[in-house]
Structure formats: C-alpha cells, structure tokens
Amino acid sequence: MSMKEVIEIIDKYERKPDKLLLILLELQKNSGRNYISEEWAEIVAKELNLPLSRVHDVITFYSMLSSKPRGKYIIQVCKSASCHVRGAENILEIFEEVLGIKVGETTEDGLFTLEATSCIGVCDISPAVKINDDVYGNLTREKVIEIVECYRKGGLKCQKQ
C-alpha cells in the first residue's frame, strides 16, 4: 500500500484521534503481513497529531495488533477454559507439528503465524481456531491437517465444513 493509500484510510475516518484503533486495524488488514510498520505508525501519528509514543502504546496494548510482520494467515488457537477442557492443548501441539513451527513463530514461506489466543466466543464448537476472519471448530487431527492444506492451496472456501 502506498503512502497515498495510507492517508486515504486516515481521511476515511475524518482524521479523528478517537478512531485510532479502527485506523490501525484497517491499515494492518491491508498490509499483507498483518502488522503496522513503524513507518505507517509515524504517518498516523503525524496526520492525527498524536505523539508517536501514544500510537505505539495502542499497537502494543491490543492482542490483535502487531508492530512486527506476521504471516498472511494468522492462526489463533483458543486456549481458554472451555477449549482447554476439550483438548485445546493437544490441538495446539498438532498445529505446531503440521506447520513445523512453535507457537509465536511464522512459517518460512510467510504464509502462517501460529498464536495462542484468549476465548474467541465460539465455545459451542470448541476446541476452536480462528484463521484471519474465519472460525473452525470441533477440531480433530484430521480437520487440522485438512484446514492447513486448504489454506496452503489458496485459502478459498475452507469454511465448507
């Protein structure tokens, strides 16, 4: 995204400082690497007339925002209580195995970042995982393998289940 497009997003929110969180979420979504670079953070701070340290505070405070580049797909395995009692820890280990990375890491091809997350509100289908905007539940080893394969192939229509 060019600097012009970054400013367009800021303009869309009328340059209001109270829209900082929404602006950062949208910039992150359009970054291709699910993060907000220091450069973009500087532009936001300048255009909203906020100290850069305050923009940094917001980026580091919220779990969904990242100041470091991540994968194209953020795989967030829920490890809160309801998923825990239905085998979430096991699911996390399976993801680590299938992806070949440890939680917190990104695959070398830049496709996947594996994260453990707090409750995502889909306890009716736990153990569950959120991959970008989509949620998959009632996970088993087979399902995990299937889902990862689907995303490796382009991430389209993986929600059919």
Partner 1 sequence: MSKTVRLVSENWGKIVPGSVSDYIKVGGFEALKKAIEITPTGVIEELKKSNLMGRGGAAYPTGIKWEQIYVIDKYPKYIVCNADEGEPGTFKDRLLLTEDPLKVIEGIIIAGYTIKAEKAYIYIRGEYPRAQEIMKNAIKNAKEAGFLGDNILGTGFSFDIEVVSGAGAYVCGENSALVESAEGKAGRPRIKPPYIKNVGLFNMPTLVNNVETFAYVPVIIAKGAEEFTKYGTEKSPGTKLISICGNVVNRGVYEIPFGLTMREIIYDIAGGIEGGRELKFVQIGGSSCECMPKELIDTPFCYKELKSKGFSVGSGAILVVDDRTCVVDFIKCITEFFVHESCGKCTPCREGNTQVYNIIKRFTEGKGTEKDIKLLERLSTTMKYASFCGLGQTATNALSSCLKYFREEFIEHTKGICRTNVCKF
Partner 2 sequence: MKEVNLTIDGIKVTVPAGTTILEAAKKVGINIPTLCYHPDQKVKANCRICLVEVKGAKGLSTACSTPVWEGMEVYTNSKLARETRKTVLELILADHPMDCLKCVRNQKCELQKLAEEFNIRKIDFDYVWDELPIDESNPSIVRDRSKCIKCGKCVEVCNEVQSVGALAFANRSHDIIATTAFDRPLKNTVCVYCGQCTLVCPVGAIYEKSDIERVWDALNNPDMHVIVQTAPAVRVSLGEEFGLEPGSIVTGQLVAALKRLGFDKVFDTDFTADLTIVEEGHEFLERLQHNGKLPMITSCSPGWINFIETFYPELLPHLSTCKSPQQMFGALAKTYYANKIGISPERMFVVSIMPCTAKKYESQRPEMYSSGYRDVDAVLTTRELARMLKEAGIDFSKLPSEDFDAPFGITTGAGVIFGATGGVMEAALRTVYEVVTGKELKNLDFEAVRGLKGVKEAEVEINGKKIKVAVANGLSNARKLLDMIKEGKADYQFIEIMACPGGCIGGGGQPFGTTNEMREKRIKAIYDVDKQMPLRKSHENPAIKALYEEFLGHPLGERSHKLLHTHYRARDVK
- Does position 103 interact with partner 1 (CB under 8 A)? The reply is no
- Does position 14 interact with partner 1 (CB under 8 A)? The reply is no
Query: Any idea what the Cα angle at residue 136 is, between residues 132 and 103, rounded to 5°?
Result: 60
Q: Within 111-140, which residues bind partner 1 (CB under 8 A)?
A: 117-126, 130, 133
Q: Which is nearer to partner 2, 37 or 107 (CB)?
A: 37
Residue 4's contacts (CB-CB under 8 Å, 6 or more residues apart) are none
Please, which residues bridge with residue 114 across strands? Answer: 75
Residues in contact with partner 2 by CB under 8 A are: 38, 41, 50-57, 60-61, 67
Q: What CA–CA distance (Å, rounded) separates 124 from 121?
A: 8
- Does position 57 interact with partner 1 (CB under 8 A)? The reply is yes
Q: CA Rg, the chain, in Å? A: 17
Residues found near partner 1 in the complex (CB under 8 A): 16-22, 24-25, 54, 57-58, 61-65, 79-82, 84-86, 117-126, 130, 133
